[in-house]
Amino acid sequence: MKKNILIVGIDGGATKVSGWTVVRKEDGTFALGDLNVQKKYSEYEYFDPEFTPVNIKTQLEEMNEGIHLTAGEKKQGLAYMYATADVIGELVKSYPGYDVLIGIGMPGLKTKDRRGICALANGPRMPEYSNIIENRLFLNNVTLAAPIHHLGSDADYCGLGEEYSSDGQFRPVDNSYYLGGGTGVADALKLHGNLIPFDAVKLWMAKAWEMKADSGKSMERYCSAAGIQSIYSENSGIPVSELNEKEIYAPQIMEKALAGDTGAKKTMDDVSYYLAELLFERISTIYNGTLGQFDFVNPARGKLVPHHPYKGTLLDYVIIGQRLGDYLQESKGKGILWEPMLDHLKERILENEVLTKQFKDHYLNRNTFNEKRIVLSKLREAPAMGAAVDAWLSREEQS
């Protein structure tokens, strides 16, 4: 008799892990199920709030020479891994008799077998990540439909989620760029009808976090929830710890800007300006090849090459998702964030002498930016959805 299979998508973040049940539909699309479980790493006795990651240079060196985990990393790692296993265990409890198929998205560089994490800028290395999770699930009588095939990246999983979800914005188009802003920033591409991993285009297009604005900050700071809060901290002089204590995050900063708070208004101005700069870089690079708009956070990163196989491509949509999409939706009609971003995008296109009339006609509507080219995704859980889809596709390939 064929076993029932529960598909679970895991989105691992910097402070917590979130898991969703995912349902595969008859038409081959996927939808979020009815269950979501979240656990903070700080709930576990092994968690150390003062944990300091190993120097990233050392981490990168040890990737090739052999990883030497510190005692602190081993303990902190257990909090991360046990939290993930326990999220899965709680989801499965509601489905007795089911085998579970698990997809996991986690930040960091992956081990050679892609089942562990061998470098993580803001956390512990966990080379045995999948093994320890599987062992904990086994001890809790959870049966796997298949071993964890590999760990994936949030960015790639956002793309998969938007492509395979019944609510996904990649589905109806051939050419689109996705920008997701949550704790960090995620880039995804669909060109000529195919999902294209950003690692496959790194010679001619950089990830958002790699690019440095003329302010000296990474573009990630202007696209992510934590980044927007940190910019407000600088503009207002209020420490981030105090903002967290008072629960002042990006939505509250927008409210403060509307109420006339000077630091908040400057923050919204900065975010709308640099968001427009980033989106202009995306649409122009895909169509024309790089215009050399940004320097890089890592000065040793090789320059972008101007030629690529997708030149001449006009995007059906730019998709903006996760919390960043919510903020933009909330700002519409209020004269901050959304409208200034569109205005600056229009100016960048109109003033550019390299880009063709075809390009300008596609993205402009009577000398204003055609806002129909920007779609705000409602798929908040795109990374978890993509992780689940990847687990299903990997199992299909193997069977």
Q: Is the pLDDT of residue 2 over 70?
A: no
Q: What does the alpha-carbon distance between residue 41 and residue 78 come to, in Å, rounded to a whole number?
A: 9
- Contact present, 111 and 127 (Cβ < 8 Å): yes
How many percent of the chain have pLDDT more than 70?
A: 99
The string over 255-283, giving b where at least 16 C-beta atoms fall within 10 Å of a residue's C-beta and e elsewhere, is ebbeeebebbbbbbbbbbbbbbbbbbbbb
Do 269 and 335 have their domain in common? yes
Q: What is the mean pLDDT of residues 160-172?
A: 93
pLDDT in tens, 233-290: 999 999 999 999 999 999 999 999 999 999 999 999 999 999 999 999 999 999 999 9
| 163 falls within a domain | no
For 4-21, the DSSP string reads PEEEEEEEE-SSEEEEEE
Q: Are strands 374-376 and 176-181 parallel, antiparallel or unpaired?
A: unpaired
pLDDT in tens, 94-118: 999 999 999 999 988 999 999 999 9
State the number of CA atoms in the 13 A half-sphere of 230 facing the CB. 13
State the pLDDT at residue 306: 94
Q: Is the pLDDT of residue 15 over 80?
A: yes
Do 225 and 367 have their domain in common? yes
CATH code: domain of residue 394: 3.30.420.40
Do 106 and 195 have their domain in common? no
Q: What does the alpha-carbon distance between residue 323 and residue 145 come to, in Å, rounded to a whole number?
A: 33
Q: Is the pLDDT of residue 24 over 90?
A: yes
State the pLDDT at residue 189: 97
Q: What is the mean pLDDT of residues 313-340?
A: 96
How far apart, in Å, are the Cα atoms of 108 and each of 69, 122, 152, 341? 15, 9, 9, 31
| 159 falls within a domain | no
pLDDT in tens, 241-250: 999 999 999 9
| 108 falls within a domain | yes
Q: Which residues contact 46 (CB under 8 A, 6 or more apart)?
A: 75, 76, 78, 79, 82
State the pLDDT at residue 1: 41
| 31 falls within a domain | yes
Domain count, the chain: 2
Q: Where are the alpha helices (DSSP H) in the chain?
A: 56-65, 71-93, 129-139, 154-164, 220-223, 225-236, 240-245, 250-258, 262-288, 322-331, 338-351, 357-363, 382-398
Q: Give the CA radius of gyration of the chain.
A: 22
Exposed, middle or buried by CB within 10 Å (0-12, 13-18, 19+), for 221?
buried
State the pLDDT at residue 13: 86
Do 294 and 198 have their domain in common? yes
Do 43 and 178 have their domain in common? no
Do 74 and 107 have their domain in common? yes
| Structure tokens that stand for 319 in this block | 């998709």
Neighbouring CB atoms inside 10 A of 2's CB total: 4
Going 157 to 337 to 314 to 170, the CA torsion angle's sign is positive
Do 108 and 175 have their domain in common? no
Kindly state the DSSP code that residue 68 receives in the 8-state scheme.
Answer: -
- Contact present, 169 and 29 (Cβ < 8 Å): no
Q: Residue 320, SS3? A: strand
Q: How many residues does the chain have?
A: 399
Give strand pairing partners of 222. Answer: none
Do 64 and 184 have their domain in common? no
| 158 falls within a domain | no
Neighbouring CB atoms inside 10 A of 285's CB total: 23
338-351 vs 262-288: helix crossing angle, rounded to 10? 40
Do 299 and 277 have their domain in common? yes
Do 117 and 192 have their domain in common? no
pLDDT in tens, 46-91: 999 999 999 988 998 998 889 999 999 999 999 999 999 999 999 9
Do 189 and 323 have their domain in common? yes
Q: What does the alpha-carbon distance between residue 274 and residue 280 come to, in Å, rounded to a whole number?
A: 10
35, containing H or E segment: strand 30-40
| 114 falls within a domain | yes
**Domain range holding 255?**
169-378
The string over 66-81, giving b where at least 16 C-beta atoms fall within 10 Å of a residue's C-beta and e elsewhere, is ebebeeebebbbbbbb
| 164 falls within a domain | no
Quick one: pLDDT band at residue 329, thresholds 50, 70, 90?
Answer: very high
CA 201 from centre of chain? 17
State the pLDDT at residue 166: 87
Q: What is the mean pLDDT of residues 172-188?
A: 92
pLDDT in tens, 348-387: 999 999 999 999 999 999 889 999 999 999 898 899 999 9
Q: What does the alpha-carbon distance between residue 310 and residue 191 come to, in Å, rounded to a whole number?
A: 7
Do 205 and 125 have their domain in common? no
Q: Which residues contact 379 (CB under 8 A, 6 or more apart)?
A: 161, 162, 165, 167, 168, 169, 321, 385
